[in-house]
Structure 1
Amino acid sequence: MNVLWIMADQLRWDYLSCYGASHIATPNIDRLASKAVRFDRAYVQSPICGPSRMSSYTGRYVRSHGATWNGFPLRVGEPTLGDHLREIDVKCSLVGKTHMRPDKEGMKRLGIDPAGPIGALVSECGFEAFVRDDGTNSTFDANRNGEDYDNYLREHGMDGENPWEEWANTAIGPDGKPKTGWLLETAPLAARVPKEHSETAWLTTRGIEYIESQGDQPWLCHLSYIKPHWPYLAPAPYNDMYTAQDLPPVNRREGEHQHPIMETWANTRICKSFARDTVRDTVAPVYMGLIKELDDQMGRLFDYLEKTGRMDDTMIVFCSDHGDNMGDHFLGEKDLFYDCSARVPMIIYDPRREADATRGTSTDKLMESIDLVPTFIDFFGGTQKPHLLEGRSVEPLLHGKDTPWRQHCISEYDYATRDARREIGVDQRDARMVMVFDGRWKYVHVETMRPMLFDLETDPNELHDLGDDPEQQSHVERLKEVHFDWSRQHHSRITRSAEIVEEMTDDREPDGIVIAFWNRQEMDEQGLQMPTHIKD
């Protein structure tokens, strides 16, 4: 039995037709959903790439693993999915993006060679890297790990000092001159790279090559796509497949931001840009084209799995690391806890017969991205580690079992490096937000400021912040207490399981240690013996 864990980057849940989108058709992802369980209330543990992925790869909340922002290394010694799977002889491999930054200082302190077998796994977040590509500009980012794709482009006649930049992220304007994909006005133009050689197509090919190269050892392959993340540039025909007339209405209202942090946030450069209709009308159709390209490649991948019989022995998970605000709420990029950013698609296909009864169904039970690690451990027959893993296996839900389930989702956001933090005068130590969502009410704790509150039953578009509404303070206090309870839970006591703690309690003191007994008679009454070498 194997696992194919597919992750798209910056993909909104509501831009998939299996989630009800009418402005775009994604028949191949829908095809997977027809055989799987679709989770309708799945949330990431942070609405930004790095910390979201580190939670997905460790099964732990951001406050626990500590990699709270992009470029913050995951510390040496933090257990990962790969560590857990290797214990049960399952290969754990990467094809694509992780956004991982290695803890070089930690490895140096501990004498770990980054190029050695242990250092390589630590540097790759526990994955064996079949291919790594983080989809950024290698001219400026030494951690892009894009050499494989650059070499691939060169082999196919797309040469240059930086082929990714010059072909995948460059278009040719009407004047015949190159135009960079970093500028939003370039979005409608076709990328120079042909569609069969785009990063999305290439990663699909590499994923298939990985599967074909595997022997009898069970494996998990994390096939992690770079798109539809910016730069918003697509190869033909995906660049002009949609127009502004195909877009859903923008979700925002004048005057919706009354909270101090939101007023400041909406005034930042990225948000002011995407709040302009011209920008959204230009970029969002290409965002849709990138999703359509991804869906087409999913069709190619699923055809391969069906043809080779791999659908019979492979769990398939399709998800994203966060969404994209795309002008909603007058915001750009990802960030913050609106559903367009923190809520993600989560489709899980279980090939086992125990899942037959739930195929093609959906559930509104709350799911967190950290639930995937314990789910994979369950699938491979491993032992759960609740003292370490903070997620819960969703296997009972996949198999249609009536089981008590979580009542809240938690997501965290460290905005210390964002412009808004300085604009509003918040110390970096206090630049923290935490979302608590109970399926209806979404509470956002904002350190040093009042909370935000949204009622998604009466206000599903999250346009009315009720955090300072006197009539809703009972919900504020209730969810504030949930946040307080969550924050008090053990999250760093990970070296001893609950079973070992119970054994230590039963054993009392270590052998040879006698504390607080008056005489031997008291010891005899407790059924304890004096060490034989001690004379009284």
Structure 2
Amino acid sequence: MAKPKNILFIMFDQLRWDYLGCYGHKHLHTPHIDRLASKGVRFTRAYIQSPICGSSRMSTYTGRYVHSHGASWNFTPLKVGEMTMGDHLRDAGMDAWLVGKTHMEADEEGMARLGLDPDSKIGARVAECGFDIWERDDGMVTKGPDGSFAEGGITNAHNYTNYLKARGYESENPWHDFANSGIDAEGNVLSGWFLKNSTEAANIADEDSETPYMTTRAMEFIEGHDGPWMCHLSYIKPHWPYIVPEPYHDMYGPEHVQGPIRSAAEYDDAHPVLRGMMESPVGKAFSTDKIRNAVIPAYMGLIKQCDDQMGRLFKWLEDTGRMDETMIVLTSDHGDFLGDHWMGEKQFFHDTSTRVPLIVYDPSPKADATRGTVSDALVECIDFAPTFVEVAGGKPASHILEGHSLLPILHGTATEMPRDHVICEYDYAATPLADKLGLNVREAVMFMVADKDWKLIHCEGGFRPILFDLVNDPHELTDLGDRADMAPVIERMYDKLFRWARRTSQRTTRTEEQLIEMRTSTRRRGVIIGVYDENDIPLELSVHYRGRKAKDMKTGRQTEQT
């Protein structure tokens, strides 16, 4: 084929870039994902646009920076009017379907203001981040004293819940009681929320757990659709709760846990914002060997299960002849600190969190020259949307989409992206850290700008910058932001950040071509400004204003005499 007919866009949740075999993990072997890398291009400098699920995904789905789309934290709605990957692809003649998670929060107020019925086709797409829904499941079926974490219905895990109940998993909440908990000899549920239970086997058959279930649903979608389609297969795992069913629960032990990337000096000399994260409950928890030795083997088991499901999926695609007509893009929405840098979770800018795996398999002959290669080009998650539009045969709307197509690298006509830095943003105005630091909601934001040599982090609120030397300190252990001799580097990186901040990201209703055409077309539409004499300009521009006659009305309207 000259080009792929369909696109399978696979995203894992909270999968670290360095926890795959092809990215160099010492103990975790992922042969199926590694094989995909051998058939495509593996990118080593792919960065997300925000180190948290919701805002990262909204950048991926809109092809725009967080600063542009505004959905800057979890449960922050994506405002009505933002075009998404699905909108761009449908304009190019390709459907966009979802199987799994988006973390999308609909702008219900905006939809009501515009009279958009959420049950209509257009309303449903607006509410679902531009996708048509085969199955949406964000996981996280929780219950606390004040209700659910996703009270507004963002979870949408009804199908999976019903599936488990039909399979005999009898519970008000089988997602928790079976898929994400163990069980003791007396039948007591050992909740996966408690990290001590990470060593337990989840009380569910492997084939019924979340990752195999969603793989099956994706295969059912593909089998029933001829295309052209883009299917976003978006897994919930290896995101916490960190618990996995047999046989994956004991494949790895403390002896397979790699030492943490951290230093005593890094903690002792920490920047105030970074120190606040280190001293958070999750930071303190993952700074202990006890918790790391319990959690990381389960995390590795979850990834191993993911890889096995990729093997199942890829074999099925090959057996059914679909591998040769489908572009496959495999990535993650962010990483997981797992105790590195004295932190847990993901909400900061070390590569542990912001750098993600990215493997792209293009079946077209144009990609033959790059199969099995590795690229260190600076890639951002906003690059997926323009890439997919090009694959669909369309022209990316560059006045809206802020990324760049990956096809030149995939086809061997370029080795770098047309950028010299990457950007990541984090808005923590709604978190306890903002309170702890005494910041108002406008101050509780930070920005990362990085190139291949340096990473600068700017924190609003009057804090000094953080600076890492990525060449001599690739693990980002030494903050150079307070060093006077680093002033030239800091200034240079701020120049890149300011250049990014000055971009015209909100100019989305006119294309670049339209703006260029307008530079010369206005005068040809009868607007004449600054011309003293009609003979000073070409006749054709003033022809409609020459040789005209009119009645003298200076004394007012003449009335008819009777």
> Taking structure 1 as reference, are residues 434 and 526 closer, same or farther at Cα in structure 2, changes over 3 Å only?
farther
How far is the alpha carbon of 1:26 from its aligned partner? 0.5
Equivalent residue, structure 2, for 1:35: 39
Is 1:219 aligned to residue 229 of structure 2? yes
Measured after TM superposition, the shift of residue 534 of structure 1 is 5.8
Deviation at 1:176, TM superposition (A): 3.4
Separation in 2, partners of 1:298, 1:69: 30
CA distance in 2: counterparts of 1:534 and 1:118, whole angstroms: 51
The aligned residue for residue 483 of structure 1 is 497
Structure 1 residues 516, 339: CA separation in 2 closer, same or farther (over 3 Å shift)? same
Q: Distance in 1 between matches of 2:13 and 2:259?
A: 23
Instruction: Report the equivalent of 1:62.
Output: 66
Task: Answer yes or no: is the 8 Å Cα contact 1:45–1:411 preserved in 2.
Answer: yes
Q: Give the conservation status (yes or no) of the 8 Å contact 1:173–1:189.
A: no
C-alpha distance after superposition, 1:367-388 (max 9, x if no partner): 1011111111111110121111
> What is the CA–CA distance in structure 2 between the aligned matches of 1:3 and 1:113, rounded to whole Å?
30
Alignment of 1:88-167 (within 5 A): 88-137=92-141, 139=143, 140=148, 141=150, 142-167=153-178
Q: Determine if the alignment matches structure 1 residue 462 to structure 2 residue 473.
A: no
How big is the shift at 1:402? 3.0
- State whether structure 2 residue 485 is matched by structure 1 residue 471: yes
Alignment deviations for residues 137-179 of structure 1 (CA, whole Å, 9 cap, x no partner): 1551222100010111111111221221221122102553112
The answer for the alignment partner of 1:347 in structure 2 is: 359
* CA distance 1:272–1:533, change in 2 (3 Å): farther
Runs of 5+ unmatched residues, structure 1: none
- Alpha carbons 1:523, 1:529 under 8 Å: kept: no
Classify 1:403/1:41 alpha carbon distance in 2 versus 1 (closer, same or farther; 3 Å).
Answer: closer
- Greater mean deviation of Cα atoms: 523-532 or 96-105: 523-532
User: Match for residue 558 of structure 2?
Assistant: none
Match of 2:440 among 420, 427, 438: 427
**1:522 corresponding residue in structure 2:** 536
Measured against aligned partners, the alpha-carbon deviations of 1:477-522 in whole angstroms (never above 9, x if no partner) come to 1001100111001000011001111121111258344434334333
For 1:13, what is the secondary structure of its paired residue?
A: coil
Distance 1:30 1:341 in 2: 21
Question: Post-superposition shift, 1:236?
Answer: 1.1
Return 412-421 or 476-485, whichever deviates more. Answer: 412-421
Tell me how many residue pairs correspond in the alignment: 535
Question: CA offset at residue 233 of structure 1?
Answer: 1.2
- Post-superposition Cα deviations, 1:115-139, rounded to whole Å, max 9, x if no partner, equal 1111100011000010000011155
Indicate conservation of the 8 Å contact 2:286/2:344, yes or no.
Answer: yes
Change (3 A) 1:256 1:27: same
Paired residue type of 1:73: P
Q: Indicate conservation of the 8 Å contact 2:117/2:123, yes or no.
A: yes
Contact 2:100 2:214 in 1 (8 A): yes
The residue identity in structure 2 corresponding to 1:304 is: W
Greater Rg over alpha carbons, structure: 2
Amino acid at match of 2:477: L
* Cα distance in 1 for residues equivalent to 2:242 and 2:177: 15
Is the aligned partner of 1:506 residue 2:506?
Answer: no
CA contact (8 A) 1:150 1:163 kept: yes
Match of 1:75 among 47, 72, 79: 79
Alignment partner for residue 221 of structure 2, among 210, 215, 225?
210
Kindly state the Cα deviation for residue 404 of structure 1 after the two structures are TM-superposed.
Answer: 5.6
Farther-moved stretch of structure 1 (59-68 vs 130-139): 130-139
How do residues 267-278 of structure 1 correspond to structure 2 at under 5 angstroms? 267-278=279-290
Please, which of 456, 459, 472 is the counterpart of residue 446 of structure 1? 459
Whole-Å Cα distance in 2 between the matches of residues 421 and 162 of structure 1?
Answer: 33
**2: CA distance between counterparts of 1:351 and 1:533?**
66
Q: Take 1:506 and 1:77, find their aligned partners in 2: how far apart are those partners?
A: 30
Structure 1 residues 69 and 535, CA gap change in structure 2 (3 angstroms): farther
SS of equivalent to 1:255: helix
Give the alignment's Cα RMSD to 1 decimal.
1.5
1:247 and 2:260 are equivalent in the alignment: no
Q: Is the Cα contact below 8 Å between 2:254 and 2:297 reproduced in 1?
A: yes
Distance in structure 1 (CA, Å) of the matches to 2:543 and 2:162 = 71
Q: Describe the SS at the equivalent of 2:44.
A: strand
Distance 1:523 1:67 in 2: 50
Indicate whether 1:192 and 2:197 are aligned: no
Instruction: Describe the SS at the equivalent of 2:236.
Output: strand
Taking the aligned partners of 2:547 and 2:99, their CA distance within structure 1 comes to: 60
Structure 1 345/508 Cα, relative in aligned 2: closer, same or farther at 3 Å? same
> Higher mean Cα deviation, 91-100 or 443-452?
443-452
Give the stretch that moved more between structures: 505-514 or 341-350: 505-514
Q: Find 2:449's aligned residue among 436, 442, 456.
A: 436
Could you say which residue in structure 1 is the equivalent of 2:271? Answer: 259
Q: How far apart, in 2, do the equivalents of 1:21 and 1:317 lie?
A: 21
Preserved contact between residue 39 and residue 365 of structure 1 (Cα < 8 Å): yes
Which is further off, 516-525 or 84-93? 516-525
Q: CA deviation at 1:530?
A: 2.8
TM-score by structure 1 length?
A: 0.97
Q: Deviations over 1:447-487 (max 9, x none)?
A: 12111011121111111000111122211110011001110
Task: Provide the C-alpha distance between the structure 2 equivalents of 1:533 and 1:514, rounded to a whole number of angstroms.
Answer: 17
CA contact (8 A) 2:523 2:541 kept: no
Counterpart residue type for residue 464 of structure 2: R
Deviation for aligned residue 1:418:
2.0
Q: CA 1:432 to 1:526, structure 2 compared with 1: closer, same or farther past 3 Å?
A: farther
Q: Distance in 1 between matches of 2:83 and 2:481?
A: 37
The structure-2 alpha-carbon separation of the partners of 1:403 and 1:278, relative to structure 1 and needing over 3 Å to count, comes to closer
- Counterpart residue type for residue 423 of structure 2: I
CA contact (8 A) 2:526 2:542 kept: no
Residue in 2 that maps onto 1:180: 191
Report how far residue 195 of structure 1 moved: 0.4
Q: Alignment partner of 1:143: what SS?
A: coil
**Deviations 1:322-352, CA, capped at 9 Å, x for gaps:** 0000000000111111111000000000000
Structure 2 CA distance for aligned equivalents of residues 350 and 171 of structure 1: 40
What SS class does the counterpart of residue 170 from structure 2 fall into? coil
CA distance in 1, matches of 2:517, 2:470: 46
More divergent stretch after superposition (98-107 vs 18-27): 18-27
Do 2:377 and 2:416's aligned partners in 1 also have CA atoms closer than 8 Å?
no
Contact 2:96/2:131, CA 8 A, preserved across alignment: yes
> What's the offset of the Cα at 1:403?
5.8
Matched-pair contact (CA < 8 Å) for 1:409–1:436: yes
Distance in 2, matches of 1:138 and 1:104, equals 22
Residues 63, 362 of structure 1: CA spacing in aligned structure 2 closer, same or farther, 3 A cutoff?
A: same
TM-score by length of 2: 0.93
SS in 2 for 1:429: coil
CA contact (8 A) 1:317 1:346 kept: yes
8 Å Cα contact 2:524-2:541 kept in structure 1: no
The unaligned stretches of length 5 or more in structure 2 are 551-562
Q: Which amino acid aligns with 1:188?
A: T
How big is the shift at 1:219? 0.3
Distance 2:50 2:540 in 1: 51
